[in-house]
Chain A
């Protein structure tokens, strides 16, 4: 299946700092989603992107759909302890008609 590469794999940051993570692929995707997963729970949708170049915010979170349609990034501003978790990107292709998931970025926020 398609591979979505997320980076960084893990991050340790101080509370209050901004965070940036991205997701890249060698293939074109027509939808990008960002999820957050807490331990033992299912992923929760944070932001959905449907159009190349689209920039969408959800509170302190901002995500962008790359112009090339091969990447997306997620920014978190002024991090707080409850931002801790694993963040996944997911992309949808018409070929295969399924969502492919990134490998995840583990975020730790130090109070």
Chain B
């Protein structure tokens, strides 16, 4: 079974731009969660999508948004990029969220200049 895939793997943007990251979950998994990982803050939960609906949200500003498609693929968007948005963005999929074990993708490394 293929694992979680994320595209692109690396991205360089400048302040003020916007970016869209993509995540394809493991086949059959309906829950996709997004995390931001930085050296100082560790893994911070952004949001979780299940059946095309945002089911849970972390403590991030509205510039961070996401969506999920009917095939469970998910996208994350960050608008008006700031230098502090530079991070590894990870998505994790699970069967139905909640207590279900999460499996991570390789991440998208975003650098904001």
**Chain A residues in the interface with B (C-beta under 8 A):** 1, 30-31, 33, 35, 40-45, 48, 50, 88, 90, 92, 96-104
Contact = CB atoms under 8 A, between A and B. Distances in A.
Contacts of B35: 101
B25 to A, nearest CB: 13
Contacts of B8: none
A51 B35 CA distance: 26
Interface in B86-111: 90, 92, 97-99, 101-107, 109
B101 A88 contact: no
B104 A31 contact: no
Interface of B: 4, 6, 33, 35, 42-45, 48, 55-56, 58-59, 90, 92, 97-99, 101-107, 109
User: Could you tell me the dominant secondary structure of chain A's interface residues?
Assistant: strand
A103 B43 CA distance: 8
Contacts of A1: 44-45, 58-59
A50 B99 CA distance: 9
B102 A99 contact: yes
User: Could you tell me the dominant secondary structure of chain B's interface residues?
Assistant: strand
Contacts of B104: 35, 42-45
Closest 8 CB pairs of A and B: A42-B104, A101-B43, A43-B104, A42-B106, A42-B107, A103-B42, A42-B90, A48-B101
Contacts of A100: 45
Given A1-B58, A45-B101, A98-B48, 16 more contacts: A1-B44, A33-B101, A42-B6, A42-B92, A42-B105, A42-B107, A45-B103, A48-B101, A88-B43, A97-B97, A98-B56, A99-B33, A99-B45, A99-B102, A101-B35, A101-B43
A86 to B, nearest CB: 10
A79 B89 CA distance: 30
A96 to B, nearest CB: 7
A41 B44 CA distance: 16
